[in-house]
Amino acid sequence: MSGLTLREAAEQAGVSKATLTRAVKAGRLPAAQLDGRSYRIHPDDLFRAYPAVGRTTTAGAAGRHPAGTEQPQNPELLIRAAALEAELRVLKGILAKLNSLSPANGGNPGSL
């Protein structure tokens, strides 16, 4: 399989090999395992997990965010994220109400 080695990917992303290894093992970064030890990472996958926006090529560069916590700069993405967070709050409220009405919690499920 073609792709970047961990060393190459770490250099391109400006992070350590250990950071990438943890991301691969946690499932945050897709990679093909070749011989049970080494990985190959497709550049598209690497830059989805570690966007190039505002990055320099040195490890630990300023302005970096850990994988999965990148700060979107696109106004549409910010609006969408805010809407999803609001929806999540509503759903958590509904879930809390349902849990409080559970017979196991002494509630009456017929009072919905």
Tell whether 92 is covered by a domain.
yes
Tell whether 9 is covered by a domain.
yes
How do residues 79-88 score in pLDDT, each as one tens digit? 777 788 888 8
- Among residues 95, 23, 104, which one has the least CA distance to residue 9? 23
Which residues, 6+ apart, have CB-to-CB distance to 98 below 8 Å?
112
Residues 43 and 79 in one domain: no
Residues 47 and 79 in one domain: no
Query: What confidence category does residue 7 fall into, taking pLDDT thresholds of 50, 70 and 90?
Result: very high
What's the pTM value of the predicted model, to 2 decimals? 0.46
Residue showing tokens 């009405």: 101
CA 72 to chain centre: 13
Cα separation, 38 vs 54, in Å, equals 29
Tell whether 79 is covered by a domain.
yes
Tell whether 112 is covered by a domain.
no
Q: Report the chain's mean pLDDT, rounded to a whole number.
A: 77
Domain that holds residue 89: 75-106
On the question of pLDDT at 59 being above 80, the answer is no
How many structural domains are present in the chain? 2
